[in-house]
């Protein structure tokens, strides 16, 4: 992770701790889109809880799968918990998002 990426991650944490969940989501989502596993895990957890964004377990699953594929331990812990909340069709939708090229990862047009 570059110094700039580390700074954005810290800014996200500061925003989260200050109660600015939307600011944290925006910062971490920026880094998640770059493929930073820690940011992907944090974005997923915000989706799970509906903090700073709408609650969306399919998106949470998608980001956790990406982070877990990079070996992020937090993602490995959370992934089965989120997967258990999804129907087989929802899980398939999440898997299809994982296979999409970066930048085309929204499940709705």
Q: What are the chain's domains?
A: 3-99 (1.25.40)
Predicted model pTM: 0.86
Per-residue confidence (pLDDT) for residue 22, from 0 to 100: 97
Close Cβ partners of 38 (under 8 Å, ≥ 6 residues apart): 1, 9, 31, 67, 72, 74
32, 63 contact by CB (below 8 A):
yes
The yes-or-no verdict on residue 101 having pLDDT over 80 is no
Report whether pLDDT(13) > 70. yes
State residue 96's pLDDT score: 85
Contact predicate 54/28, CB 8 Å = no
Rg (CA), the chain: 13
């Amino acid at each position: 992770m570059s110094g700039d990426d580390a700074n954005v991650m810290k800014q996200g944490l500061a925003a989260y701790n200050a109660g600015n969940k939307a600011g944290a989501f925006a910062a971490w989502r920026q880094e998640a889109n770059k493929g930073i596993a820690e940011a992907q895990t944090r974005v997923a957890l915000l989706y799970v809880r509906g903090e700073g964004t709408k609650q969306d377990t399919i998106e949470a699953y998608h980001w956790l799968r990406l982070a877990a594929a990079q070996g992020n331990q937090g993602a490995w812990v959370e992934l089965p918990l989120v997967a258990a909340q999804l129907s087989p069709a929802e899980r398939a939708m999440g898997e299809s998002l994982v296979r999409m090229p970066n930048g085309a990862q929204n499940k709705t047009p």
